[in-house]
């Protein structure tokens, strides 16, 4: 409410369009009343309000608080605005640093919440260097109304324990609290930026859009190799594993032979090695077999297969109409003849020649007509199913999921 009130004053003096979002989690019996309160407060200030209701599905072992937070930010970041302002303040920052400290986090975790995160929308936290007491004084001076979420008193949440039991003791014995911890978080954020800059230097010349040259890890000192690996995972949008998990991951990557099929699980993704490069990709899909009934676009495990009707270039439409068409994953031993004057070749070898790593080979769909292999997208069409120059033909385009590459 303090943030809404302050921004309402700001936009009255500057050409800024202000709107508000309320995320309705549906977790409290009072949630509907909160949405009504937000609507009243925004209407009184002439601020437009969007209310978004979430349907949270909790799986065994998952934290409901974490699920709600993730869904909330996903909803916020999907908003078509330039900047999202959040109301976190100095006490929140101190609590976040303490929570990360008790988890054994490194500089990136101890940096806690950034005051500014670039992007569209960008995230800003304009109250981050103000204490809860300062904000409370502002609220009183402006006679603002507000609502306390009753879950803030629930000791089952570790943050609440810090807030109600630990923070008062720290404040009593360390008068600088929480500003000293907010300052410590800024120091850690600076250290984290330096580590990222070091990793970028270590990766220079050894990384492209999809892969990191594995030998680069081997020439670095262990701390720098671990830092580079953490940086790579964050760069790909993944949370680095625990200290022990990272050490094991690094050892597997360094010890694997060039032709080994490395498959390291990491947060619903896999890390593999192909031709000396480390790549992060989606988990290998299970074997599949799906019928095709003329769809122009078919979503499959690992990607999307597009069918474009053309003439003379691709799969013969007439021949495909003579028997059921099925899209299947490779099982091994498949052969295809790409030219009349050439022998049948193993599909696996053709995929290897095309530079496809093992995980892409397992998800690339093969087109079967009846019991015959008709085509392999990106590889070619069997001569028995190739369209004549003037005949209707299907041109195939395989679009792997971006994370599969």
Residues 221 and 151 occupy one common structural domain:
no
Residues 269 and 337 occupy one common structural domain:
no
Domain presence at residue 294: yes
Domain presence at residue 103: yes
Using the structure block, give the residue that is written with the tokens 């594995």. Answer: 214
pLDDT of res. 405: 47
Cβ(390)–Cβ(312) below 8 Å: yes
Q: What is the domain range of residue 359?
A: 289-404
User: How far is residue 353's CA from residue 138's CA, in Å, rounded to a whole number?
Assistant: 68
pLDDT in tens, 204-253: 999 987 789 999 999 999 999 999 999 999 988 888 888 999 999 999 99
Between vectors from CA 132 to CA 129 and to CA 135, what angle results, nearest 5°? 85
pLDDT in tens, 73-127: 999 999 999 999 999 999 999 999 999 999 999 999 999 999 999 999 999 999 9
Pairing state of beta strands 277-281 and 211-213? antiparallel
Domain presence at residue 119: yes
From 132, 167, 182, the end of a domain falls on: 182
Between vectors from CA 213 to CA 212 and to CA 215, what angle results, nearest 5°? 135
Coil/strand/helix, residue 278: strand
From 231, 261, 281, the end of a domain falls on: 281
What tokens appear for 119 in the block?
Answer: 């992007």
Residues 364 and 256 occupy one common structural domain:
no
Domain presence at residue 199: no
Domain presence at residue 124: yes
- Decide if pLDDT at 404 tops 60: no
Arithmetic mean of pLDDT, 161-170 = 95
pLDDT grade for 176, boundaries at 50, 70 and 90:
very high
pLDDT of res. 230: 95
pLDDT in tens, 17-26: 999 999 998 8
pLDDT in tens, 283-327: 777 889 999 999 999 999 888 999 999 998 899 999 999 999 999
- Decide if pLDDT at 335 tops 50: yes
- Half-sphere CA count of 377, side-chain side, radius 13 A: 25
Cβ-in-10-Å burial (0-12, 13-18, 19+) of 148 comes to exposed
- Decide if pLDDT at 379 tops 70: yes
Domain presence at residue 192: no
Residues 146 and 209 occupy one common structural domain:
no
pLDDT in tens, 253-285: 998 876 667 888 888 888 988 888 898 888 777
- Determine how many CB atoms are found less than 10 A away from the CB of residue 82: 10
What radius of gyration, in Å, describes the C-alpha atoms of the chain?
Answer: 28
Mean pLDDT of the chain: 91
The dihedral through the CA atoms of 198, 202, 207, 213 has a sign that is negative
What tokens appear for 171 in the block?
Answer: 């404040």
Q: What is the CATH number of the domain that holds 61?
A: 3.40.50.620
pLDDT of res. 117: 95
What tokens appear for 375 in the block?
Answer: 């085509």
Beta strands in 86-140 (DSSP E): 116-117, 122-124
Domain presence at residue 191: no
- Decide if pLDDT at 200 tops 90: yes
Domain presence at residue 190: no
More confident residue, 84 or 70: 84
Q: How many structural domains are present in the chain? A: 3
Share of the chain above pLDDT 90, in %: 72
Residues 232 and 380 occupy one common structural domain:
no
């Amino acid at each position: 409410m303090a943030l809404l009130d302050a921004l309402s004053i700001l936009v009255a003096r500057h050409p800024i369009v202000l709107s508000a979002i309320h995320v309705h989690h549906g977790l409290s019996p009072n949630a509907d009343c909160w949405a009504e309160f937000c609507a009243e407060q925004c209407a009184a200030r002439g601020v437009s309000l969007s209310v978004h209701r979430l349907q949270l599905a909790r799986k065994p072992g998952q934290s409901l608080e974490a699920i709600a937070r993730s869904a909330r930010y996903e909803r916020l970041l999907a908003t078509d605005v330039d900047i999202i302002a959040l109301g976190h303040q100095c006490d929140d920052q101190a609590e976040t640093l303490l929570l990360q400290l008790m988890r054994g986090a490194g500089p990136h975790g101890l940096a806690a919440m950034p005051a500014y995160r670039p992007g569209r929308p960008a995230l800003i936290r304009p109250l981050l260097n103000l204490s809860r007491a300062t904000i409370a004084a502002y609220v009183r001076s402006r006679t603002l109304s507000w609502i306390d979420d009753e879950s803030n008193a629930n000791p089952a949440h570790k943050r609440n324990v810090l807030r109600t039991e630990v923070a008062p003791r720290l404040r009593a014995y360390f008068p600088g609290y929480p500003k000293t911890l907010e300052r410590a978080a800024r120091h850690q954020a600076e250290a984290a930026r330096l580590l990222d800059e070091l990793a970028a230097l270590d990766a220079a010349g050894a990384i492209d859009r999809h892969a990191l040259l594995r030998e680069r890890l081997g020439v670095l000192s262990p701390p720098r190799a671990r830092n580079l690996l953490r940086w790579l995972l964050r760069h790909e949008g993944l949370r680095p594993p625990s200290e022990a998990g990272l050490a094991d991951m690094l050892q597997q990557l360094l010890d694997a032979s060039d032709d080994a099929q490395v498959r390291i699980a990491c947060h619903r993704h896999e890390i593999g090695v192909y031709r000396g490069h480390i790549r992060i990709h989606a988990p290998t899909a299970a074997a599949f077999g799906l019928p095709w009934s003329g769809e122009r676009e078919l979503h499959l495990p690992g990607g999307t297969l597009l069918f474009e009707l053309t003439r003379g270039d691709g799969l013969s439409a007439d021949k495909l109409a003579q028997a059921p068409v099925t899209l299947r994953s490779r099982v091994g031993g498949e052969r295809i003849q790409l030219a009349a004057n050439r022998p049948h070749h193993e599909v696996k070898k053709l995929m290897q020649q095309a530079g496809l790593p093992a995980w892409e080979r397992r998800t690339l769909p093969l087109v079967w007509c009846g019991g015959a292999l008709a085509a392999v997208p990106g590889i070619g069409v069997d001569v028995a199913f190739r369209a004549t120059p003037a005949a209707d033909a299907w041109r195939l385009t395989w679009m792997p999921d971006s994370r599969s590459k």
